[in-house]
Chains A and B, each alone.
Chain A
Amino acid sequence: MAEVSKPRRTLFGSERARDEALTAYLFLSPYLLVTLVFTIGVLLFAVYVSFTEFNLFTWPPTWVGLENYKEALTDRRFIRSLVNAVWYVIIVVPAQTTLALFLAVLINSKVRGSNFYRSIYYAPSVTSSVVISLIFWWLYLKTGYLNFGITEALGAVGREWAAIEWLNDPRGLFQLLLGPFGVEISFDLWYLRGPSITWMAIMFQNIFTTAPTFMIMFLAALQDVPPTLYEASAIDGANRRHRFFRITIPMLPPVILFIVVLGTIGTWQVFDQIKILTSGGPLNTTLTPVYLIYVEALGTSGPPRMGFAGAMAFFLAVIIFVFTLIQRRYIESGTEAY
Chain B
Amino acid sequence: MAERALPLTSVQEKRLQSLGNLVASLKKGVTYAILVSGALLAVSPLIWMISTSLMSLGEAQGVRLVPSTIHFENYTAAWQEADLAGYFINSVKITLITLVGQLLASVLAAYGFAKIKFPRRDLIFGVMLSTIMIPAMVLIIPNFLTVTWLGRIGPIRWINNWPALTIPFMGSIFSIFLLRQFFAQIPDELFDVAQIDGAGHLRFLRQVVIPLSKAPLMVIVVLSFMGSWNALAWPMLVTNSPKWRPIAVGLMNFVDEAGQRTNHMMAGAVITIIPILILYFITQKQFTESIARSALKG
| Chain A residues at the B interface, C-beta cutoff of 8 Å | 17, 20-21, 23-25, 27-28, 30-35, 37-43, 45-46, 49, 56, 103, 106-107, 109, 111, 115, 117-124, 126-132, 134-136, 138-139, 143-145, 148, 208, 212-213, 216-217, 219-221, 224, 254-255, 258, 265, 268-269, 271-272, 275-276, 290, 293-294, 297-298, 306, 309-310, 313, 316-317, 320-321, 324
Contact = CB atoms under 8 A, between A and B. Distances in A.
A216 B292 contact: yes
A132 B45 CA distance: 8
A103 B233 CA distance: 31
A135 B143 contact: no
A164 to B, nearest CB: 15
Which of A25, A120, A208, A224 is most buried by chain B, counting CB atoms within 10 A of its CB? A120
A130 B48 contact: no
A85 to B, nearest CB: 12
Interface residues of B, number: 81
Given A131-B273, A220-B296, A294 B135 contact: no
Contact of A41 (B134, B146, B200): B146
Closest 3 CB pairs of A and B: A220-B292, A34-B171, A27-B112
Interface in B263-298: 265-266, 269, 272-273, 276-277, 280-281, 284-285, 288-289, 291-293, 295-296, 298
Contacts of A30: 104-105, 108-109, 170-171
B145 interface: yes
B77 interface: no
8 contacts: A43-B142, A46-B139, A117-B39, A119-B281, A119-B284, A128-B248, A220-B293, A306-B141
Interface stretch (B5-13, B67-75, B80-88, B116-124): B116-124
Given A23-B116, A220-B292, A135 B146 contact: no
A131 B251 contact: yes
B186 to A, nearest CB: 15
Interface string B142-182: 11011000000000000000000001101101001000000
Contacts of A33: 171
Contact of B135 (A122, A129, A269): A269
A118 B43 CA distance: 12
Nearest to B249: A130
B63 interface: yes
B34 interface: yes
A135 B49 contact: yes
Nearest to B172: A31
A130 B141 contact: no
B15 to A, nearest CB: 21
B34 A106 contact: yes
B118 to A, nearest CB: 4
A49 to B, nearest CB: 7
Contacts of A217: 291-292, 295-296
Contact of B133 (A24, A130, A265): A265
B289 to A, nearest CB: 7
A208 B41 CA distance: 9
